[in-house]
Chain A
Amino acid sequence: MSKTTAINWEVGPIFRALLRNKVGAVLIAIQIAVTMTIIVNSVFIIVERDQQMQRVSGLDEDNTFYLSSLGFGQNFNAKVSIQDDLNMLRNLPGVVDAMQINAIPISGGGWSMGLQTKPGAEYDGVGTAVYMVDQNVLNTLDVELIAGEKFTPTDIRWREPAQGDWPDKIIITKALATSLFPDDEWQTAVGKTVYINDIEPMTIGGIIDQLQAPWIGWDKVENVMLSPEQMDQDSTRYIIRTEPGRRDDLMPQIEELLANSNKNRIIKGMRSLQETRERSYRSHTALIKILSTIMVILTIVTALGIVGMATFSVNQRKKQIGTRRALGASQGAIVRYFMVENLIISTVGVVVGAMLTLGLNIILVNVFNLDKIDWYYIPIGMVVLWLVGLIAVFAPAKKAANIPPALATRTV
């Protein structure tokens, strides 16, 4: 058996020496633990928010905008006005399609209803957003029909102001089909009957690939039903899709055309989908910025703390380091000493940090309804903080390695 081994990491003596000088080490370990807790939870929240922001609404967002028309006076006829407006809009060069709609996806405000697969008040419904649309819906909203049939002009009815019943035939999203019939293939939903207002039957005529509800924070944001109807209301909203690149010049043009075409109404609330997305996700963007800033600051503060503590302990142990060099430590062995010492402290820090991270996540889950953290965030966070520690301690360790061995005999 060989008497020697390649490298001795000195873990035992370094650990025992640390135990005799706990305070500084414990403070740094706590700092590492707290930093890890906040960083890992922040990253988790950021990733989650970012994923929400990456979701697509289904619309041709870059080329879509909407506006409201508010009619007034006895001479205003909503039905006539809506038909005139849509004729004008659909024939305008640069406009791909246009449609009256009751609510705008991802805008924050809209209608929701419950659908159930069996009639009766005793059954629970599945929540869905409702868009009232006409036969031009697929083209206007840029959605694809993936099963069943689209709406024809004869499917579209007028909904009077006080009317409470629903059309016979609807189109739903694939996500809603899966929600309604979780045990079946989504395609089989076509032709099935669902009930609205507990007992009122409607047939599923078609399924579209994807369209989001108005509420981005809703966990069923993909549950959408299209109801074939136009609304006989003085105040209405149009959604307009333009050819690529035409949106910005068409917006003021259309606003003016509509305002001039009928003096008994005003046009307001014109906004692009792009702006709507920015407004809806504004708090997401702000939160991501705040958390990122906090993370960067905390990481820097922790790294500086490690640098400070290591520098302090190098200065305090100059003579000891000189003695170690005199006893045969190479410069590498001195660097290694401080690296190992830092790793021991960091390891305590990240282990405590892992527990605190889970603890904070549990609080966030309970109080703020956040999701449970994915397990792999914890080991990644541990490794990152280990690395931060090693990088931070490297300069002081190099400084220690440069302490001359002669210091052992030169100082008393």
Chain B
Amino acid sequence: MLKMTDVKKVFRTDLVETHALRDFNLHVKEGDFVAVTGPSGSGKTTFLNIAGLLETFDGGRFELDGQDVSDLNDKQRSQLRNQKIGFIFQSFNLIPDLNLFDNVDVPLRYRGFNAAERKKRIEHSLDMVGLAQRMKHLPSQLSGGQQQRVAIARALAGEPRFLLADEPTGNLDTQMANSVMDLLKEINANGTTIIMVTHDAALAKQAKRNIYVLDGKVSEVGKSATANHAHLAAVQ
């Protein structure tokens, strides 16, 4: 369960104040698959960063799994992030100098698992994304779609409750994007709550729930992607 009530986020620079989120309200239930769409600069990434404890917020209330996170210190936030949240990024963010095994190992080491446990989890999650045979390869030896699969394996190896994805298919062609989407749906079917920011209406449609962010607010919540589609068209 993830619950945001009137969450605000202001970025201040010397010249301007940007209200990236204004009274952002959202309640994501356990096991949901939420697709977040909205125009560029509307605050989608900001929302995802706050949801994933990568960024703090300036007002309102945010509960993750029933826990108010506003008073946590950096170490506690890191720990919570490590245990409950898996991240997938648009540009994969694999560590170029580490092979697939070591890449998936990164969050598991921060978790403090012992070597045997880590090995089991790495092999299992790489197997799940179909790349167990290429454990010793470097990210640069893989296609974009394969790299994103490794990133998904890395996000899932610690068995997080939430998977947060910021335009996970943004750098992929349609075919690869679809296969990544299939994988995410499968993961969601296995019980992981997913929040995915995307610009791709066709993919958003496949999620269980769609929200539309405009100007730092959730402007519309719907199950149907067609509404979003219309909205996107209206904005453009």
Binding site for B on A (CB under 8 A): 1-8, 10, 12-13, 16-17, 20-21, 319-320, 323-333, 404-406, 408-410, 412
Contact = CB atoms under 8 A, between A and B. Distances in A.
A331 B154 CA distance: 20
A380 B97 CA distance: 34
Contacts of B206: none
25 contacts: A1-B114, A2-B114, A3-B113, A4-B117, A6-B112, A13-B102, A16-B97, A16-B102, A20-B97, A320-B95, A323-B89, A323-B93, A323-B95, A324-B106, A326-B52, A326-B54, A327-B81, A327-B106, A328-B158, A330-B74, A404-B54, A405-B81, A408-B93, A409-B49, A409-B166
Interface in B66-89: 74-75, 78-79, 81-83, 87, 89
Given A405-B54, A408-B54, A329 B78 contact: yes
B54 A328 contact: no
Given A8-B109, A13-B102, 11 more contacts: A5-B113, A13-B109, A16-B98, A323-B95, A326-B87, A327-B110, A328-B78, A329-B110, A333-B78, A333-B110, A408-B93
6 residue pairs, one from A and one from B, having the closest CB atoms: A328-B82, A17-B97, A8-B109, A330-B78, A327-B107, A4-B112
Contacts of A328: 78-79, 81-83, 107, 110-111, 158
A327 B102 CA distance: 13
B100 to A, nearest CB: 12
Interface of B: 45, 48-49, 52-55, 74-75, 78-79, 81-83, 87, 89-91, 93, 95-99, 102, 105-107, 109-114, 117, 138, 154, 158, 166
Nearest to A319: B93
B52 to A, nearest CB: 7
B2 to A, nearest CB: 17
A17 B98 contact: yes
Contacts of A406: 49, 54-55
Contacts of B79: 328, 330
Contact of B89 (A16, A20, A329, A409): A409
Contacts of B55: 404-406
A325 B85 CA distance: 12
A2 B114 CA distance: 8
Given A328-B81, A406-B55, A5 B98 contact: no
A46 B68 CA distance: 63
A329 B112 CA distance: 11
A320 B78 CA distance: 16
Contacts of B91: 412
A325 B93 CA distance: 12
A274 B29 CA distance: 90
A408 B81 CA distance: 13
